[in-house]
Chain A
Amino acid sequence: MRHSKLSRVKIFGALTLAACTGTLLLLFNSCSTDRAVVAPLEIEGATFVGDKSCRDCHPNISRVFPSSPHARLSSGNSQMAGQSGCESCHGPGSKHIAMAGRGGLEKFIINPGKDPEACFRCHQETRAEFHLPQHHPVIEGKMSCVQCHDPHGMDIMKPAGGLAMARQNETCAQCHREQTRPFIFEHAAMREGCTVCHSPHGSINAKMLVQRDMNLCLKCHAQMQGPSVGPGFYIGNVDHSGFLRFGTCWTAGCHTAIHSSNTQPFYFY
Chain B
Amino acid sequence: MRHGPNGSHLASRVARVAGVLLLSCGTLLAEPKTAESKIDESQLPPASTNRIDFARDIQPIFDTSCLRCHGPAKPKSGFRLDSRATALKGGDDGVDIVPGNSAKSPLIHFTAGLVEDMQMPPEGKGEPLTAAQIGLLRAWIDQGAPWNSAPPTNLYSVSFSPVVGGTTVSGDAKKFRELNWRPEGVNGGLGEFQLFQQTGPDTAVLLSGHALRDDHKIDLSIEQTDLGFIHSGWEEYRKYYDNLGGFRHAASTPEALSLDQDLHLTLGKAWVDFGVSLPHWPRLVFGYEYDYKRGDEASTAWGVAGTAADARNIGPASRGLREGTHVLKFDLDAEVKGVTIEDRFRGEFYSLNTHYTNSGARGPLSQNVDETDHYFQGANTIRLEKQFKNWMFASAGYLYSHLDADSSFTNVTRFFNTSFAGSAPSITLERESHVANVNLLLGPFDGLTLSGGAQTEWTRQQGFGSGNLNEIPFSRTPPLTLAIVSTTLNADYDERSAMETAALRYTKIPFTVLFAEVRLEQDSIGQTDSDLQSTGNFAENTDFSSQLTDFRVGFSTSPWRWMTFSAHYRRYENDSHYPRTGPPQPDAGGYPDFFRSRELLTDETETKLVVRPCNWLKTTLSCQFLTTDFRDDANAASNVTSHVVFSPAGNTLTGRFESEIYSIATVLTPHPRVYFTGSFSYEPSQTRDLNSHSPTIGPYHGDTYSADASSTYVLSQNADFSLGWNFSEASYAQKNGPTVVPVDIRYQEHGVEAALARRFGKNVTARLQYNFDYYHEPSSGGAADFRAHTVFATLNLRLP
- A residues touching B (Cβ–Cβ < 8 Å)? 1-3, 8, 11, 15, 19, 22-23, 26-27, 30-31, 33-37, 39-40, 52, 56-57, 60, 63-64, 66-67, 71-81, 83-84, 97-98, 100-103, 105, 122, 124-125, 127-129, 131-133, 137, 140, 142, 156-157, 161-163, 165-167, 175, 177-178, 181-186, 188, 191-192, 204-207, 209-216, 218-229, 232-234, 236-239, 241, 244-248, 250-254, 256, 262-266, 268-269
Contacts and interface: CB of A to CB of B under 8 A. Distances in A.
Contact of A101 (B72, B600, B732, B737): B72
23 contacts: A26-B715, A57-B69, A72-B556, A73-B513, A75-B512, A77-B511, A78-B511, A79-B561, A80-B561, A97-B68, A101-B67, A101-B72, A137-B239, A140-B180, A157-B381, A165-B397, A181-B403, A185-B529, A191-B546, A209-B300, A219-B655, A237-B589, A241-B696
B314 A253 contact: no
B78 interface: no
A102 B63 contact: yes
Contacts of B237: 137, 142
A208 B31 CA distance: 66
A57 to B, nearest CB: 7
A236 B473 CA distance: 13
Contacts of A188: 542, 544, 591-592
Nearest to A72: B515
B630 A185 contact: no
Interface stretch (B7-15, B88-96, B159-167, B431-439): B431-439
Given A67-B451, A137-B181, A250-B300, A226 B714 contact: no
A205 B301 CA distance: 14
Q: Range of interface residues on chain B?
A: 35 or more
A124 B427 contact: no
A251 to B, nearest CB: 4
B501 interface: yes
Given A137-B181, A142-B237, A262 B409 contact: yes
A77 B557 CA distance: 10
Contacts of B714: 30, 33, 35-37
A33 B653 CA distance: 65
A124 B672 contact: no
Nearest to B649: A224
Nearest to B481: A268
A212 B743 contact: yes
A45 to B, nearest CB: 14
Interface in B692-706: 692, 694, 696-697, 699-700, 704, 706
A123 B613 CA distance: 21
Contacts of B562: 80
A219 B728 contact: no
Contacts of B655: 215, 218-220, 222
B424 A33 contact: no
A247 B639 contact: no
A237 B646 contact: yes
Contacts of B437: 165
Contacts of B636: 226
B66 A101 contact: yes
A220 B633 CA distance: 11
A252 to B, nearest CB: 5
B361 A167 contact: no
Interface string B303-322: 11000000110100000010
B702 to A, nearest CB: 8
B770 interface: no
Given A71-B449, A131-B728, A245-B740, 6 more contacts: A39-B675, A64-B393, A71-B513, A101-B70, A222-B654, A236-B593
Contacts of B375: 181
Given A33-B673, A133-B749, A220 B630 contact: yes
A244 B475 contact: no
B673 A212 contact: no
B558 interface: yes
B549 interface: no
Contacts of B490: 184
A125 B624 contact: yes
Nearest to B550: A161
B691 A79 contact: no
A81 B561 CA distance: 7
Given A80-B564, A125-B622, A262-B489, A224 B697 contact: no
B563 interface: yes
Contact of A165 (B399, B472, B544, B661): B399
Contacts of A33: 673, 714-717
B386 to A, nearest CB: 10
Nearest to B654: A222
Contacts of A232: 646
A131 B622 CA distance: 18
B424 A239 contact: no
A265 B472 contact: yes
Residue of B68, B546, B747 contacting most chain A CB atoms (<10 Å): B68
Interface in B656-684: 656-657, 661, 663, 665, 667, 669, 671-675, 677, 679, 681, 683
Contacts of B654: 218-223
B550 to A, nearest CB: 10
A101 B63 CA distance: 8
A238 B475 contact: yes
B538 interface: yes
B713 A37 contact: yes
A238 to B, nearest CB: 5
B505 interface: yes
B511 A84 contact: no
Contact of A22 (B354, B513, B723): B723
Residue of A30, A52, A241 contacting most chain B CB atoms (<10 Å): A30
A247 B247 contact: yes
A16 B70 CA distance: 54
A91 to B, nearest CB: 14
A247 B314 contact: yes
Shortest Cβ-Cβ A-B pairs, 8 listed: A101-B71, A253-B361, A101-B67, A219-B655, A128-B681, A236-B589, A256-B301, A226-B645
Residue of B323, B557, B706 contacting most chain A CB atoms (<10 Å): B706
B745 A204 contact: yes
Given A182-B461, A227-B645, A262 B560 contact: no
B340 interface: yes
Contacts of A219: 630, 654-657, 687, 689
B752 A15 contact: yes
Interface string B114-131: 000000000011000000
Contacts of B387: 63
Given A66-B505, A183-B429, A237-B639, A133 B246 contact: no
Contacts of B785: 1
Residue of B66, B510, B728, B785 contacting most chain A CB atoms (<10 Å): B728
Interface string B445-489: 000010101010100010101010100111100000000000101
B729 to A, nearest CB: 8
Interface in B184-236: 198, 215
Contacts of A80: 558, 560-564, 610, 612
B87 interface: no
A225 B622 contact: no
A241 B736 CA distance: 13
